[in-house]
Structure 1
Amino acid sequence: MRIFSVTPIHVGPEELRRRQARYDALLPTGVTLDLADIGPAAPRALDTADEIGASTDAVVAALRTAPAGYDVLLPDCVLDPGVAELRGELPVVGILQLSLGWQVIRGRRSGMVARNEAIAAELSDRASAYGWGQHVAGVEVLGLEVDAIADHARWDAALDSALGRFDSSVDVVINGCSAVPVTSHHPLAVVDPTSLALRLVAAGDAR
């Protein structure tokens, strides 16, 4: 299976390599993924609703002009930009769609964490749009800048603090960024949505 992915924000060569290496380490056997940068016209962070909207428009345009020969298109973002817009037009699947959907199927109540308020609001909206809002206990905000995505120590510290704010009704917490590895040792289980989404895509191809 070949997957094509595009970043939701414009990133430099070093960050693009880091993200690609993360995918390469997570890919199940028989699956390849090629990650492309969205380009300099796109936002460089998702800090506001307007930036999230501009990112979605850019991802939709990029996926519509994706190179031929790929089996699946997977936006490199837990907000699933372009998934709703391209449904029925292209073979697009979303990281949140897959990872949260799996928790719903398993009967689990999920919490989520997000880097900032704008992303938290969009995560909640996406969950509701998928019809799964009642399965989400809420979204805790980490209060981090975009450069913390590549700073795992800062992310982990904020994540551990946020995990302590969820109540006992929560079974798992979805880490609300596709590009951050999950290394928390908190007793509450944390889902790496990218890793889970890739495994589910691969399993679906093995039907």
Structure 2
Amino acid sequence: MRIYAVTPISVGPAELARRQARYDALCPPGVQVELHDLGPRAPRALDTDEQVRQSEALVIEALTAAPDGFDALLPDCVLDPGVAQLAGKLPVPVLGLLRISLGWTVLTGRSTGAVARNRAIAAEIVARAEAYGWMSSLCGVEVLDLDVYAIADAGRWAVALEGAVRRLTAAGARTVVNGCSAVELPPAGPAAPVRLVDPTALALRLIAAGELR
């Protein structure tokens, strides 16, 4: 199964290569993701609602113009830009990392929290969960207050996660979805109070298990 994916921001060659290598490592057998940079017109970070909306419009444009020969399309973003707008309108499915990963936690009956790099992303995660009808299963979204460069810095992200996961656990979360598609999460210890979900890794496993054609 071949998936055509686009980043939600302009990331440049080095970060694009890092993200592609991450997909290559995470893809189960039979699944291949080909990742493309959204391009110079795209914002370089999703720090404001205006940038989130600009990114969404450009992702829709890029996925609509995707070449033939792919079995599915994918925004490389946990905010699922364009997923709802393009559903059923293109010849192949448009997959959403948040829809698949958060949907799985909802279907398994787990009370779920999420973390987000900043307030604009946190607000959009809440909006997506509300649009999908899952707000009753979402017990909160914690803001990490990190800049865009922390996405590629697993150590900084892990430090910020600690307090956020504690607060979500206290709020009743049994699962915490990491609110970024491109972050390497720290390994979970056996005594971890909650399951920390990498939305990209989980979504790829579920796509492979579902044998999407």
TM class, shorter-chain normalised? over 0.9
Residue in 1 that maps onto 2:8: 8
After superposition, the C-alpha distances for 1:20-76 in whole angstroms (9 at most, x for unaligned) are 000000000011110000000011000000000000000000000111111011110
After superposition, the C-alpha distances for 1:120-159 in whole angstroms (9 at most, x for unaligned) are 0000000000000110001000000000000110000001
1:113 aligns with 2:107: no
- Report the alpha carbon displacement of residue 184 of structure 1 after superposing the two structures with TM: 5.0
Residue in 2 that maps onto 1:198: 204
Structure 1 segment 117-156 matched on structure 2, within 5 A = 117-156=119-158
Distance change in 2, residues 1:74/1:206 (3 Å): closer
Alignment check: 8 A CA contact 1:148 1:155 kept: yes
Q: Secondary structure at the residue paired with 2:75?
A: coil
- After superposing the two structures, state which structure 1 stretch, 197-206 or 82-91, moved more: 197-206
Q: Which runs of 4+ in 1 moved over 4 A?
A: none
- Report the alpha carbon displacement of residue 206 of structure 1 after superposing the two structures with TM: 6.5
Residue in 2 that maps onto 1:34: 34
Structure 1 segment 154-193 matched on structure 2, within 5 A = 154-166=156-168, 167=170, 169-185=172-188, 186-193=192-199
Q: Which runs of 5+ in 1 are unaligned?
A: none
Q: Secondary structure at the residue paired with 1:153?
A: helix
Residue type of the alignment partner of 1:148: A
Q: Secondary structure at the residue paired with 2:9?
A: coil
Q: Secondary structure at the residue paired with 1:4?
A: strand
Residue type of the alignment partner of 1:103: T
Alignment check: 8 A CA contact 2:139 2:171 kept: no
- Report the alpha carbon displacement of residue 98 of structure 1 after superposing the two structures with TM: 0.1
Q: Secondary structure at the residue paired with 1:164?
A: helix
TM-score scaled by length of structure 1: 0.97
Alpha-carbon distance in structure 1 between the residues aligned to 2:187 and 2:177: 12
Q: Which runs of 5+ in 2 are unaligned?
A: none
Report the identity percentage: 59
Alpha-carbon distance in structure 2 between the residues aligned to 1:181 and 1:82: 24
- Report the alpha carbon displacement of residue 114 of structure 1 after superposing the two structures with TM: 0.1
Alpha-carbon distance in structure 2 between the residues aligned to 1:160 and 1:3: 33
Which of 98, 101, 106 is 1:96 aligned to?
98
Alpha-carbon distance in structure 2 between the residues aligned to 1:158 and 1:51: 23
Q: Secondary structure at the residue paired with 2:84?
A: coil
- After superposing the two structures, state which structure 1 stretch, 77-86 or 164-173, moved more: 164-173
Alignment check: 8 A CA contact 2:83 2:95 kept: yes
Provide the aligned C-alpha RMSD in A: 1.2
Distance change in 2, residues 1:96/1:188 (3 Å): same
